[in-house]
Chains A and B, each alone.
Chain A
Amino acid sequence: MSAKSENLFMVSLKDAAAGGAVALALFGVLIGMKAEVASGLGGQLGIEYRWAAVAIAVAIVFGGRLLLNLFVWKTDKPVTATAKGFLPSAKPLAKLGKYAMPVFLILAVVLPFLLMSAYGSRGSRQYLDLAILVTTYVMLGWGLNIVVGLAGLLDLGYVAFYAVGAYSYALLAQYFGFSFWICLPLAGILAAFWGIILGFPVLRLRGDYLAIVTLAFGEIIRVVLLNWYDFTGGPDGISGIPRPSFFGIEFERGPGGFADTFGLEYNSIHRIIFLYYLILIMALVTNFVTMRLRKLPVGRAWEALREDEIACRSLGINTTHTKLTAFALGAMFGGFAGSFFATRQGFISPESFTFIESAVILAIVVLGGLGSQIGVVIAAVVMIGGFEFFRGLEEYRMLVFGLLMVVIMVWKPRGLISTRMPSITLSGKKAKGISADLVQEGHG
Chain B
Amino acid sequence: MSSWETNPVLTIEHLTMRFGGLVAIDDLSFNVGRGDITALIGPNGAGKTTVFNCVTGFYKPTEGRVVMHRTNGEHYLLERMADFQISAKAKVARTFQNIRLFGGMTLLENLMVAQHNPLMLASGYSLAGIFGLATFRKAERQAVEKARYWLEKTALIDRADAPAADLPYGDQRRLEIARAMCSGPELLCLDEPAAGLNPKESGELNTLLQYIRKEHGTSILLIEHDMSVVMEISDHVVVLDYGEKISDGTAAEVKDDPKVIAAYLGVPDEEVDAVEEEVGI
A residues with CB within 8 A of B: 289, 292-293, 296-298, 300-301, 303-304, 307-308, 310-319, 325, 420, 422-427, 431-432, 434-435, 438-440
Contact = CB atoms under 8 A, between A and B. Distances in A.
23 contacts: A292-B130, A297-B126, A300-B109, A303-B105, A304-B105, A307-B101, A307-B105, A308-B100, A310-B100, A311-B100, A312-B84, A313-B87, A314-B58, A314-B96, A315-B180, A424-B109, A424-B144, A425-B160, A426-B108, A426-B161, A431-B161, A434-B163, A439-B103
Interface of B: 56-58, 83-88, 93-94, 96, 100-106, 108-109, 112-117, 119-120, 123, 125-126, 129-130, 144, 147-148, 151, 157, 160-161, 163, 165-166, 179-180, 183
A423 to B, nearest CB: 6
Contacts of B93: 314-315
A314 B191 CA distance: 13
B146 to A, nearest CB: 12
B101 to A, nearest CB: 7
Given A296-B126, A313-B83, A422-B105, 19 more contacts: A289-B130, A296-B123, A296-B129, A297-B115, A297-B119, A298-B125, A311-B96, A311-B101, A311-B102, A312-B113, A313-B57, A314-B94, A315-B84, A315-B114, A316-B183, A422-B106, A426-B148, A435-B163, A440-B103
Given A293-B126, A297-B119, A303-B102, A317 B109 contact: no
Nearest to A300: B113
Contacts of A434: 104-106, 163
A300 B161 contact: no
- Most central of A314, A318, A426, A435 by chain B CB within 10 Å: A314
Nearest to B176: A311
B105 A427 contact: no
B85 A316 contact: yes
B130 A293 contact: yes
Contact of B104 (A292, A297, A318, A440): A440
B140 to A, nearest CB: 8
A212 to B, nearest CB: 26
Nearest to B100: A311
Contacts of A431: 106, 161
A168 B91 CA distance: 45
Contacts of B57: 313
B113 A301 contact: yes
Contact of B56 (A312, A314, A319): A314
Q: In the A-B complex, list the 5 residue pairs whose CB atoms are closest, starting with the nearest.
A: A439-B104, A316-B88, A316-B87, A307-B102, A297-B119
B83 to A, nearest CB: 5
A307 B116 CA distance: 15
B120 A426 contact: no
Nearest to A432: B161
A426 B160 contact: yes
A439 B104 CA distance: 4
A195 to B, nearest CB: 16
B129 A317 contact: no
Nearest to A318: B84
Contact of A319 (B84, B115, B126, B165): B84
A317 B144 contact: no
A422 B119 CA distance: 18
Contact of B166 (A313, A424, A427, A438): A438
Contacts of B147: 426
B229 to A, nearest CB: 23
Nearest to A317: B116
A325 B160 CA distance: 29
Given A310-B58, A427-B161, A315 B104 contact: no
A333 to B, nearest CB: 14
A224 B196 CA distance: 57
Contacts of B126: 293, 296-298, 325
Contacts of B129: 292, 296-298
A438 B104 contact: yes
A304 B102 CA distance: 6
Given A422-B109, A423-B109, A438 B84 contact: no
A303 B100 CA distance: 14
Contacts of B119: 297
Contacts of B179: 315
A312 B84 CA distance: 8
B108 A420 contact: no
A316 B117 contact: yes
A96 B129 CA distance: 30
A292 B113 CA distance: 16
A297 B148 contact: no
Contacts of A292: 129-130
B257 to A, nearest CB: 33
B103 A307 contact: yes
Nearest to A307: B102
A316 B116 contact: yes
Contacts of A423: 109
A152 to B, nearest CB: 10
Contact of B123 (A297, A426, A427): A297
A363 B139 CA distance: 38
A303 B110 CA distance: 10
A325 B123 CA distance: 15
Contacts of A325: 126
A422 B88 CA distance: 25
